Amino acid sequence: MTSRCRLLWRRFLQLKKVNYTVVPRAFTHVPKKISLPCTLGFSLLTLIGLEKKLNAEDELILSIKHCVLFIQRNEYDKAEQLLHVALKQAQQIQHQLGITYIYDVMANLALEREQYDKAKKLFVVVSQRIMADGATEDDLRVIHISVKLARISHMNKEYTTAQLGYDWCLNKLNSAVSINPTEENVKLLAMAEDWYGRLFLECNKDDVGLRYMQSAYEKMTSLSDTEKEHLVIQLNDLGTVCVNIGKIDESIEYFTKAIDLGKQIPDFEDLGVFYVNLGRAYLKKNMIDVARKSCGHGWKLGVLMKNNDVKHEAELCIQEIKNMT
């Protein structure tokens, strides 16, 4: 997995987009640096095919690489401008694979920027181009795009359309994994399950949503290149859902795992998030002393990391404890 892919789609599962305030005073602070496996957020299309047909120093290849570099740096306007230049270059030399790849990068960039209607149109174009080139609906590239189209419907609150899309994709992906359980296939299945689970949360079907999210987490832990940052966010989200449906012991287990794993990440500034959520879970069990210790540690981390959101939430948690004693 390349650093380019890690950086490009690091925010796909951030809490601001997919987690919810599921309990009173639940802490849904957004970690700022979350990386996901490449296939979760980016594309199954790669530069490899282009570089085999063109000189690696070709102007088109360099333009595309500069586009990706701008995206890595969050310089989205510059990336989009250069993508249009690259698209024109590809069209001038009639490089069909290059055109498809650039449209795909444009679509993913639009999705990253929450420009959902634009992203949808571009993903449809990419899908049409791939299928015109011989791909069938069982092609993993087509399914990958279909998952993202379902996600777009989900984010636009078109829940019926989103559910139909997720169901279709999960059926295809489960078949693909049963036949060929590669890490690429399992990653895509895990992404679809996680997003589908979060759709059920929005529809107040927390038990169903939890099952899909748990399944996605288990698959991600089985893969060799899943980053710790991704797993700690999944653990925190699972703990939050468990609190909402009254599974407090399970929530404590998830939050504790998130803390243990978060400690292994150098300079992870959002570790205090998990301590505060753990403290609130302990409050549900009237374990005042343990809750005070956990929220207090979260406050210390907020101060140490100069993270005012964590510090503020920890202070609210501590005030809750005072009100109970």
Could you report the average pLDDT of every consecutive run of 10 residues in the chain (325 residues)?
A: 32 31 37 34 50 63 87 91 94 90 93 94 95 92 94 96 98 96 92 96 96 97 90 94 95 97 90 94 95 96 92 93 87
Burial of residue 286 (number of CB atoms within 10 Å: 0-12, 13-18, 19+): exposed
Nearest to 120 by CA among 148, 92, 98, 96: 148
- What 8-state DSSP symbol labels residue 157? T
Task: Estimate the share of the chain in helix, then strand, then coil, as percent rounded to the nearest 5.
Answer: 75, 0, 25
Provide the 3-class DSSP secondary structure of residue 307: coil
CA 287 to each of CA 52, 224, 226, 252: distance values in angstroms, whole numbers, following the listed order: 62, 37, 34, 12
Q: Can you give the three-state secondary structure of 28-64, one letter per residue? A: CCCCCCCCCCHHHHCCCCCCHHHHHHCCCCCHHHHHH
CA atoms of 82 and 103, how far apart (whole Å): 12
pLDDT for 43 equals 55
CA 284 to each of CA 77, 246, 290: distance values in angstroms, whole numbers, following the listed order: 46, 9, 11
Nearest to 316 by CA among 287, 267, 283: 283
pLDDT for 1 equals 35
The structural domains of the chain, ordered by start, are 1-36+227-325 (1.25.40.10)
- What 8-state DSSP symbol labels residue 264? T
* Predicted TM-score of the model (pTM): 0.83
pLDDT for 30 equals 35
pLDDT for 53 equals 57
pLDDT for 301 equals 95
CA atoms of 240 and 232, how far apart (whole Å): 12
